[in-house]
Amino acid sequence: MSTSEHEQVAPVSPSEASIYPLLHPQCSSPMSFLPCLFRLDYKYPPVDFDHDGEWDEEDQIGPAIHAPTYVKDIVVNKYRIEWLNLSEPETDFYSKNHMVATLIFAETVTINNVDYSSARISMELSIEKKATAIVSQEGWVPGAHYFPGVYTLMMLDYESPTHRTVHHCTYPLHEGTTIGHLIDKILELKMHHFLFLPYTAQGRWKGCGDHVLHFWAHFVRERDITTVQSIEAGASLCDEIIYMYLTPNNRIVEHIGRGWWISFNLKEDELMPETAFTDRRLTYQLPPKPDDED
């Protein structure tokens, strides 16, 4: 039985489907098998977390750094964390949940004749570019030793959890909070400068849970999220996130794997206890060999 922590999010609307292969590469995509074709002498362009990518005006999706003003000004009142089930039992493939956040709008917003009720905001796989901040590791290859992340915002025309969601926790936001307010707090600390690390030798990646927990904890500390306990379970995310869900009623303990924070200084407190993370690799600030397995 194989496992993976970072997998593609299944499209649930026409707008998602059109950009599905671009922003959510996974094992079924040719991109995941590119490492076997990489040459160490190939000159990868440097990743620029603050400028790469562009906003898609038609599908209303793109890097959060490029979200237009009319999106950033949207008022949101709930911050929902979703566990997405990406397992494929028919192929004996069982995946750790992909973790994403959803911002629930205070009111429906109409853009280009489409009514939007929420927006997914998550760390997704970007493209193979060189992370120049990696010192003394010039031989590491993007797409093999690490994978740059892109802090992605995707407008959704529904409010309920996606059909892939097998568990979710919702937290109220301070009255008047906007999408731009939350994004700017992340950009200010360069928390979007993030790399996924190898999870198995099959070109899969971990780090989405690490990203989700850190962002949630930051918003709690800043009092943007007004309660530590979720509306549904009355529990802190650090207590909930250690579970992997195959179905809503079938969960097992599976601590989260770490990604690589390039610029952000990590904090450990009651919102971010060490016990939430796997102890199988503690040297999380150095990229492991790609053939290492957790």
What span, in angstroms and rounded, lies between the C-alpha atoms of 101 and 207? 14
In a domain, 228, yes or no: yes
Query: Phi and psi of 245, rounded to 5°?
Result: -115, 125
d(CA 201, CA 289): 9
Residues forming beta bridges with residue 149, ordered by sequence position: 125
Confidence (pLDDT) at 167:
95
C-alpha 171: how far from chain center:
18
Element (H, E) at 253: strand 250-253
Question: In this structure, what are the phi and psi dihedrals at residue 255, rounded to the nearest 5 degrees?
Answer: -65, 155
Q: Tally the domains of the chain.
A: 1
Within-domain flag for 49? no
Mean pLDDT for each 10-residue chunk of the chain (294 residues)? 38 34 34 39 75 94 96 98 84 78 98 98 80 64 76 96 94 98 95 80 74 94 96 90 89 85 81 80 46 46
SS (H, E, C) 103-165: EEEEEEEEECCEEEEEEEEEEEECCCCECCCCCCCCCCCECCCEEEEEEEEEEECCCCCCCCE
Residue 250 domain flag:
yes
Residue 118 domain-assigned (yes or no):
yes
For residue 208, the model assigns a pLDDT of 86
Residue 155's identity, in one-letter code, is: M
Examine residue 282 and state whether it is found in any structural domain, yes or no.
no
Domain that holds residue 167: 80-276
DSSP structural state of residue 94 = -
CB atoms within 10 A of CB 235: 13
Per-residue confidence (pLDDT) for residue 138, from 0 to 100: 63
Within-domain flag for 259: yes
Rounded to the nearest 10 degrees, how much is the dihedral formed by the CA atoms of 150, 155, 161, 163?
A: -80
* CA torsion through residues 60, 61, 67, 72, sign: positive
Task: Identify which of 251, 255, 266, 242 has the alpha carbon closest to the alpha carbon of residue 294.
Answer: 255
pTM, full prediction: 0.79
User: 75: helix, coil or strand?
Assistant: strand
Count of other CB atoms within 10 angstroms of residue 218: 20
pLDDT on residue 265: 79
Q: What is the pLDDT of residue 137?
A: 58
Main-chain phi, psi angles of 287, to 5 degrees: -70, 135
Tell me if 203 is assigned to some domain.
yes
**Contact indicator for 79, 219 with CB cutoff of 8 Å:** yes
46 inside domain:
no
Structural element, H or E, at residue 86: none
Question: For position 93, what pLDDT does the model report?
Answer: 66
Amino acid, res. 218: H
Q: Is 242 helix (H, G, I), strand (E, B) or coil?
A: coil
